[in-house]
Chains A and B, each alone.
Chain A
Amino acid sequence: MLKYTFRRIISGTLVLGIVSAIVFAIFYILPSDPARLACGKSCTPDLVARIQVALELDQPLPIQYGRFIKGIFVGRTYLGNTDASRECGAPCLGYSYQTDLPVTELLLDRLPATLSIAVGASILWLLIGLSSGIISALRRGTWIDRTSQGFALAAASLQIYFVGLILQFIFVDKLAWLPMPGYTSPFDYPMDWAKQMVLPWVTLAFLLSAIYSRLTRSGMIETMGEDFVRTARAKGLSSRDINLKHVLRAAMTPIVTVFGLDLGSLLGGAVITEYVFNIPGLGKLSTEAVTNLDLPVVTGTVLFAAFFIITANIVVDLLYSVLDPKVRLT
């Protein structure tokens, strides 16, 4: 298990390296000059040349990449374009062309908002998705099942920007039950934080709980036909014990897998949700960076998202061996 984990971490790191190389290469294929972008409005050809040296853009691509990687692990020193050189401590992802702030700092700054959305929404969608899926499976074919699955199909077909804006229109603009969504620190103002987060949570959960509901329902119905469920009945277990301990337990494994991956990709930034509700999370940061061609920030957000997805993958695989005793990690 330990050996397996170690190996997965090594290979995960390798994947991150490949991702970073690809992103890095794409930059320089783009027909834009980073030095020109970093230069700002009052720019002279002389200044562009100086910035090119400061950003080390005059160096060959492999050397630039090597220094970028070195920056992540041990930090690096940038020559200032005007004044003294700047020390960028590890993990250094460079400086934003737009704001001149360290990318690492920007990312960590935006993480709490994304974390709030992801964790809150995932709890909500698990609660709604699992319970409605279980009820549907147990009451298969009844009006409860048909209603909830019809609802799930409709919900899964709707888009976040549509649902989000409608909800915002109703609950913020018309009824004024909720404040405008946004982000305040839950440690300073927990109530404000919760109120502002309700709409993003509900919107995301609306879409995802539909998927989990269908997944739970089909998983349970499939398991109900298994021989071991018949054995459980033959033992004289109550239907409650059969459904919860035997059926749900077996149907759980694929749900955990999907959940891990969903949460992982959401932690990299709930792009549309953050954009719709104007929440300063990682997703919003990355869209802003792409619009402004703020290349260091784009690299940073991509790497950060890749990191979460890879970590989620490793965690899911480790969990799998706990959930399914037949899986042996080697």
Chain B
Amino acid sequence: MSAFLEVKNLSVAFPTEDGVVQAVDSLSFSVEKGKTLGIVGESGSGKSVTSLAILGLQKGSRAKVSGQIWVDGNEIVAASESEVRKLRGKAMSMIFQDALAALHPYYTVGHQIAEAYLVHNDVSKKAAMARAVEMLDRVGIPEPHKRVNDFPHQFSGGMRQRAMIAMALSCNPSLLIADEPTTALDVTVQAQILELLRDLQKEFGTAIILITHDLGVVAETADDILLMYAGKQIEYGTVRDVLQVPQHPYAWGLLTSIPRLTGDPNLALTAIQGAPPSLISVPSGCAFHPRCTYVDNVGAACSTLIPELIPVSEGKHHSVRCHMSAKVREQLFTSQVAPHL
């Protein structure tokens, strides 16, 4: 049996005047109903582009999308705009990062939620409005029957994000993509929003893709982690595996750079040297090699060969793109990385 969402070899490229930008390169993953996949990576690593590709939102643009995306048995990449349109909002929907920009400034919050419901349900406008009130109530907006007539700018940041969630969930989608849903929010509101997503997932059995650059958020909410770097997945596995025995030097860097409450307060924070690459001139071989401290363990291959995505051990759902052998990685991790975690 295949998963609810199955992405196979997804690539997205944008032709620009300066050359082709390979935003996403041969990405493969799957999400089951009721499970959460966290996609983690720096800005420009291809997280958002991936989510837009799943919704088929690059259709009609210059982006070149290849590979396969199966949502509940429907293939998205080759499908026509009108076929995908029927799935958008209903089978799959999305929560965008900046809710203020993502909501239309001239329509009331209620109108925008009702609109999403009306597209896929043959009901009266009044019934759709009632649904909007119900959804606002569900996501924890106080006095929803009043606030339904407010405009987005009259909502606070957290409320706007809740309204976005209400809109995305109005048609009970089976797949919800949340693109950095908590980035602009303060920590308490962030926790509330994540809690809300978890509750709704429990209730409806929704499959969730959580896009974030916050490992803490992923650790708390996700079942699986997909780590992206320069458009490629470099490590993929369960949260437990990836966070406890991370395999990729980039994952090591990310984890050791998190400040600890228990450590020596005078110690400088560790950082990954260098900066993420431009997608127009991605480094040859392993895109991470110019920033990798462990290149010496491999030699020339790092800068010439793109490492394959290989399972960490036989039959395990934990894979990594690294030239170092599993044995070397294990040694390095125990001797150099683990003490800093």
Contacts and interface: CB of A to CB of B under 8 A. Distances in A.
Interface in B64-106: 81, 85-90, 93-94, 96, 98, 101-106
Contact of B96 (A230, A239, A246, A249): A230
B103 A231 contact: yes
Interface in A197-228: 226-228
Contacts of B94: 234
B87 A231 contact: no
A90 interface: no
A231 B90 contact: no
A232 interface: yes
B105 to A, nearest CB: 6
B55 A228 contact: no
Contact of A227 (B81, B96, B106, B120): B96
B87 to A, nearest CB: 7
A238 B337 CA distance: 52
A129 to B, nearest CB: 21
Interface stretch (A185-193, A274-282, A322-330): A322-330
Contacts of A234: 55, 57, 88-89, 93-94, 96
B119 interface: yes
Interface residues of B, number: 27
Given A230-B57, A235-B115, A325 B101 contact: no
A329 to B, nearest CB: 15
A227 B98 CA distance: 8
B89 A325 contact: no
Given A230-B57, A326-B151, A235 B102 contact: no
Contact of A236 (B86, B96, B103, B107): B86
Given A230-B96, A234-B57, A236-B89, A324 B104 contact: no
Contacts of A237: 85, 115, 119
Nearest to B87: A236
Contacts of A239: 81
Interface in A50-108: none
A249 B108 CA distance: 13
Identify whether the interface residues of A are mostly helix, strand, loop, or mixed: helix
B105 A324 contact: yes
Contacts of B151: 325-326
A184 to B, nearest CB: 43
Contacts of B105: 228, 250, 324-326
A323 B106 CA distance: 7
A233 interface: yes
Contacts of A326: 105, 151, 153
Given A227-B98, A230-B96, A325-B153, A236 B119 contact: yes
A231 B102 contact: yes
B172 to A, nearest CB: 13
Interface string B43-61: 0000000000001010000
A230 B119 CA distance: 16
A249 B112 CA distance: 14
A235 B104 contact: no
A159 B90 CA distance: 54
Contacts of B57: 230, 233-234
A169 B57 CA distance: 53
B171 to A, nearest CB: 8
B167 interface: yes
Interface in A227-260: 227-228, 230-239, 246, 249-250
A256 to B, nearest CB: 12
A249 B86 CA distance: 24
Nearest to A230: B57
Contact of A249 (B90, B98, B106): B106
B178 interface: no
Interface string B185-198: 00000000000000
B136 interface: no
B88 A233 contact: yes
B290 to A, nearest CB: 33
B61 to A, nearest CB: 11
Contacts of A230: 57, 96, 102
Contacts of B101: 226-228
Contacts of A227: 96, 98, 101-102
B56 to A, nearest CB: 9
Contacts of B86: 236
Contacts of B87: 236
B210 interface: no
B141 interface: no
B341 to A, nearest CB: 38
16 contacts: A228-B105, A230-B57, A234-B89, A234-B94, A235-B115, A236-B85, A236-B86, A236-B87, A236-B89, A236-B90, A237-B85, A237-B115, A239-B81, A249-B104, A325-B151, A326-B151
Given A228-B105, A235-B115, A325-B153, 17 more contacts: A230-B96, A231-B103, A231-B104, A233-B88, A234-B55, A234-B94, A235-B88, A235-B93, A236-B85, A236-B89, A236-B90, A236-B120, A237-B115, A249-B107, A250-B106, A323-B106, A326-B105
Top 9 nearest A-B pairs (CB, nearest first) are A236-B89, A236-B88, A227-B101, A235-B116, A228-B104, A235-B89, A325-B151, A227-B102, A231-B102
